[in-house]
Amino acid sequence: MTRRPARGFTLIELLVAILVLSTLARLAIPYSQRFERNARAAQIMRTVTIVRQAAEEYYANQGTYPCSPDVGAVPPELAGYVPRDLVFSGKDWKLYVYGESSGAESSGDDAYSYFYVFLQIRDASLGRVVYNDVTRKLGAMSYYFPPNQYSFLNFQFGGHDGS
């Protein structure tokens, strides 16, 4: 009786192949999550940058900053200054802007005007990436509130006094 050559893989070969593939997957998943987080942070950074530039342009034209009462909504005052497709919210983040003015013109005190961008971010690691990027790249005065349900980030841009 002649023996046929074996077709297929042995159990040891299959186990080694599974081990190699699982090790590669274990190494690749954190990198893909980091890339996704950085892409979302870049989208938020783009939005913050556009809003900042639009608010400064609005201030140059109007002498005051715009205010948005709704989280995740484009302030009506900025509608002509930002692209129509700009979104103020994403899957796990919302942005809201707030302008503040002393109204001191009538009282004779020193006038001031500030512009704030508030972010609510559900993912704490995304919140840290955005916080670091905005403070480093845009030079904003910022505050980071540790996450409960959301990470709250407050960025102050501008700040014009009446002098």
Compare 161 and 21 and report the one with higher pLDDT. Answer: 21
Give tens-digit pLDDT for 10-54: 999 999 999 999 999 999 998 888 888 888 888 888 888 888 888
> In the Cβ-directed half-sphere of 61, how many Cα atoms lie within 13 Å?
11
Give me the residue spans of the domains in the chain. Answer: 11-161
Tokens for 118, please give them. Answer: 């508030």
Who's near 13: CB < 8 A, 6+ residues apart? none
The answer to whether the pTM exceeds 0.75 is: no
Give tens-digit pLDDT for 90-147: 887 888 777 776 654 444 455 567 777 777 777 777 777 777 777 777 666 655 555 5
Who's near 116: CB < 8 A, 6+ residues apart? 97, 98, 99, 100, 154, 155, 156, 157
Compare 13 and 69 and report the one with higher pLDDT. Answer: 13
